[in-house]
Structure 1
């Protein structure tokens, strides 16, 4: 799952208005932000196998530190602690902000569970879980779109535009995310180079988080 992860970011921002939408974009993709450098360092293993699934060529062989259920929980706890004790320590609602940030990190594992082939460990090794929706390109695209649109509606309901731009920025942004996903699914060729896959993924995560920061400044 790619843009579907951001559904949790919009929903959690709607729940806790003091949280940063941009940082929630980082939180919901945090384990992937770690995963790609880990693969380049040989800590975890990603094999690029042509037509491994209908959606991508990712044979996710070994990733207990980022995509294990226990590993995901520990990274969630790290994010919670960083916000509770450092980033939001002077805010009255620091506990709520820290909680939604931790939930943002944790949401990644459960969203991946829907689409991954059985490659998500509980701790390390078997059993590995995954419902395998990546074997069905149309269903995967539809799921991510539905999740994003529902979360966008909730976000818009719970926030108020500061200006005319604020009325449409989030809608346009989600439309852009869906376009990116469409191109990724149906237009762009698969990349068989791990370094370029990692760089493009990391670049996308941070650029989209930056846009989310900007969108969030237009609503209150």
Structure 2
């Protein structure tokens, strides 16, 4: 899953006004932000098998540190501690903000469950889980679009615009994300070079988080 993860970021921002939407965008993708460099240096494993799924050629047979349920939970705890003791330590509701950030990190595993082939472990090795929606491009695209729009709707319901621009900028941003995902699934050729894939993935995550940060400044 790609842009569908941001549905959790929008929804969790709607639940906690003091959480940064930009940081939530980082949190929901945090395990992938770790996974690509981990795969690049050989800590985890990503192979490219042409036609492995309709959406991509990713064959991921070993990535327990980032995509095991236990691994995801541990990274969520790391995020909680960072927010509780560092980033939100001056805020009165720091415990709630830290918990929201931890939920954002953990949400990645459960949303990946929808699209992945059965390759998501609980700890390491069998059993592995995944509903396999990547076998169908249209179902993958529309499931991510549905989740993202649903998250945006909740965010808009729970926040108010501070300007005329604020009434539309988040909607435009989500349309931009949906366009990027359309190009990624239906138009662009598969990228099977791990180094360039890592660079482009990390750049995308950083860019989207930066845009989300400024989008959120237009709403309270």
TM-score (norm 2): 0.99
The match for 2:68 is 68
Please give the secondary structure, in 2, of the residue aligned with 1:207.
helix
Shift of 1:68: 0.2
- 1:48 positional shift: 1.1
Query: Does 1:86 pair with 2:86?
Result: yes
Residue 131 of structure 1 aligns to a residue whose secondary structure is coil
CA distance in 2: counterparts of 1:33 and 1:109, whole angstroms: 13
Aligned to 1:95: 95
Deviation at 1:49, TM superposition (A): 1.3
Shift of residue 108, structure 1, vs aligned partner: 0.0
Which residue is 1:129 aligned to? Answer: 129
* TM-score normalised by the chain length of structure 1: 0.99
Aligned position for 2:115: 115
Q: For the residues of structure 1 that align with 2:171 and 2:111, how far apart are their CA atoms?
A: 22
Aligned to 1:167: 167
1:76-109: per-residue Cα shift (whole Å, max 9, x none)? 0000111111110110111110011000000000
Correspondence 1:32-71 to 2 at 5 A: 32-71=32-71
The corresponding residue for 2:142 is 142
3-state SS, counterpart of residue 46 of structure 1: strand
Distance 1:191 1:90 in 2: 43
CA RMSD of aligned residues (A): 0.6
Specify the SS of the correspondent of 2:206.
Answer: helix
Shift of 1:51: 1.3
Structure 2 unmatched ranges of 5 or more: none
1:31 aligned counterpart, secondary structure: helix
Rounded to whole Å, the distance in 2 between the matches of 1:48 and 1:202 is 19
Residues 2-21 of structure 1 aligned to structure 2 (within 5 Å): 2-21=2-21
Distance 1:90 1:210 in 2: 23
Distance 2:33 2:21 in 1: 17
- SS of 1:47 mapped into structure 2: strand
> What CA deviation, in whole Å up to 9, does each residue of 1:152-193 have, x standing for no partner?
011001011111111111000000000000000110000121
Q: Distance in 1 between matches of 2:181 and 2:51?
A: 18
How many residue pairs end up in the alignment? 220
